[in-house]
């Protein structure tokens, strides 16, 4: 499966009406705050976004992001290699 670069911003109402699903990558240069704390970060972050409308006609956006990165422990100075996972559920 080919990973495609997804847009950094979307129009929520239009994407929800079309029930759009985005599955791809966002390059690491777009994530300034993560780049500041990570010593090593993959070239891209895997992202999945699902847009829709719930039973009350509210726009719903669900998303997941996953990245492999390396952090430095501030207490002992050794490298940590956690997998960063983030899930979001937004209503508008």
Q: Where are the domains of the chain?
A: 13-91
C-alpha to C-alpha distances, 74 to 37, 77, 80, 82, 91, nearest whole angstrom: 11, 6, 11, 15, 36
Give yes or no for residue 34 having a pLDDT over 80: no
Residue found under tokens 């070239």: 43
Q: What pLDDT is recorded for position 2?
A: 63
Do 67 and 30 touch, CB atoms closer than 8 A?
no
Which tops the pLDDT comparison, 20 or 74?
Answer: 20
| Secondary structure E strands in 11-58 | 21-27, 40-41, 44-53
pTM for this model (two decimals): 0.74
Beta-strand relationship, 4-5 and 21-27: parallel
């Amino acid at each position: 499966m080919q990973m495609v670069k997804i847009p950094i911003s979307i129009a929520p109402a239009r994407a929800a009406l079309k029930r759009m699903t985005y599955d791809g990558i966002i390059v690491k240069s777009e994530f300034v705050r993560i780049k500041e704390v990570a010593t090593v970060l993959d070239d891209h972050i895997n992202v999945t976004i699902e847009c829709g409308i719930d039973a009350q006609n509210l726009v719903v956006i669900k998303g997941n992001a996953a990245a492999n990165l390396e952090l430095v422990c501030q207490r002992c100075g050794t490298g940590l290699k956690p997998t960063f996972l983030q899930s979001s559920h937004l209503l508008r």
